Amino acid sequence: MLSDHESRISAVRSFNRFYTRQLGVLGQRLLESPFSLSEARVLYELAHRDGVAAKEIGTELDLDAGYLSRIVQKFADEGLISRKPLSEDRRQHQLKLTAKGRQAFARLDRSSHEEVARTLRRMPEADQRRLTAAMTAIEGLLDSAHAPAATLREPRPGDMGWVVQSHGESYASEYGWDSSFEALVAEIAAQFLKSFDASRERCWIAELDGAPVGSIFLVRHDDDVAKLRLLLVEPAGRGHGLGKRLVGECIGFARACGYRRITLWTQSILTAARKIYQDAGFVLVASEPHRSFGQSLIGETWEMKL
């Protein structure tokens, strides 16, 4: 008879075998794409971190330098990336996805999204919640440096109501804004649900220990310009880098969609959000005083070229 310790080892190994089959990563290609799992992971990092050095990706993904070099060379040969020597160390290169590379990532991202959606659709709503909660628990237990586990997910039925309520409550308590702001958030959320374009738009909900604590939207303005809207991280979710992660997801998705620019409107008093935008590469292009939400404010327009 196996000891408790050996039984646990056996259970973990069994789960690993099951999950790799479920993900379809045992074959040579991921999701019937031209990429292996490692290549897809590198492509994801490049889509979400513009102008990153190859060494940084290797460290982040714990990839052997020689193996990573072969992946980078393959991507360069196929026209998926451009390479530029770093000024401080010309042996290292700054990597950036080309238009062809962004299209390749967008196809892979859509395939992944659709595959997970198909898996979830086979389950009742209650089982979907149990599954994602269990995954969050596994991630938190195996990566104690990031516990409690903070995750980003797509919106579920009822989340738009939470977005409206949390914005109304947070801005009323922290800045004294009146109900007209909550009305504006409700209009934005309703429009998103009414005209949602899955190929060009996204909403992410941030969760901490299974409870929603943040949100962000990326919506289409026109073929070249996307709008970032409704960034919020509640006090319970702060200190986990969720604001930076939410904005990073928007930027990566916008690049994959082929947008050329992201624009957003914020207020000068929202210093934490402004810092996140600035650190991400947004630039302040216009400001104007106005009277809204029961307050005298200075509205600001920020933009980022992709």
Containing domain of residue 282, as a range? 148-305
Per-residue confidence band for 48, with pLDDT thresholds at 50, 70 and 90 = confident
- Whether the per-residue pLDDT at 65 is higher than 60: the answer is yes
What does pLDDT average to over the chain? 86
Which range of 25-34, 39-48, 168-177 scores highest in mean pLDDT? It is 168-177
3-state secondary structure of 77: helix
Of 84, 111, 138, the residue at which a domain comes to its end is: 111
Of 93, 111, 129, the residue at which a domain comes to its end is: 111
The structure tokens 């800045």 sit at: 175
Same-domain pairing of 272 and 177: yes
Instruction: Residue 291: give its domain's CATH number.
Output: 3.40.630.30
For residue 180, is it within any domain? yes
For residue 16, is it within any domain? yes
The structure tokens 């073929």 sit at: 223
Instruction: Write out pLDDT tens, residues 187-240.
Output: 999 999 999 999 999 999 999 878 899 999 999 999 999 999 999 999 888 888
Residues β-bridged to residue 295: 292
For residue 262, report the phi and psi dihedrals to the nearest 5 degrees. Answer: -115, 135
Same-domain pairing of 225 and 290: yes
Same-domain pairing of 101 and 197: no
Percent of the residues in the chain that have a pLDDT greater than 70, as a whole number: 89
Question: Considering the entire predicted model, what is its pTM?
Answer: 0.57
Q: In the prediction, which pLDDT does 22 show?
A: 65
Same-domain pairing of 12 and 97: yes
Q: Is 257 exposed, middle or buried (0-12, 13-18, 19+ CB in 10 A)?
A: buried
For residue 196, is it within any domain? yes
Per-residue confidence band for 28, with pLDDT thresholds at 50, 70 and 90 = very low
What is the total count of domains within the chain? 2
Comparison of pLDDT for 292 and 19, the residue scoring more? 292
Per-residue confidence band for 26, with pLDDT thresholds at 50, 70 and 90 = very low
Same-domain pairing of 179 and 74: no
Is 62 within 8 Å of 45 (Cβ atoms)? no
Q: In the prediction, which pLDDT does 83 show?
A: 85
Which region among 99-103, 142-146, 158-162, 271-275 has the lowest average model confidence (pLDDT)?
142-146
Same-domain pairing of 99 and 188: no
For residue 266, is it within any domain? yes
Same-domain pairing of 171 and 257: yes
DSSP string, 91-120: TSEEEEE-HHHHHHHHHHHHHHHHHHHHHH
- Whether the per-residue pLDDT at 118 is higher than 50: the answer is yes
CA distances to 4, 243, 260, 297 from 300, in Å: 60, 18, 20, 10
For residue 133, is it within any domain? no
Comparison of pLDDT for 49 and 120, the residue scoring more? 120
Of 111, 135, 156, the residue at which a domain comes to its end is: 111
Comparison of pLDDT for 209 and 103, the residue scoring more? 103
Same-domain pairing of 73 and 187: no
For residue 218, is it within any domain? yes
Q: In the prediction, which pLDDT does 140 show?
A: 67
- Nearest-angstrom CA–CA distance, 55 and 82: 15
For residue 131, is it within any domain? no
Residues β-bridged to residue 304: 262
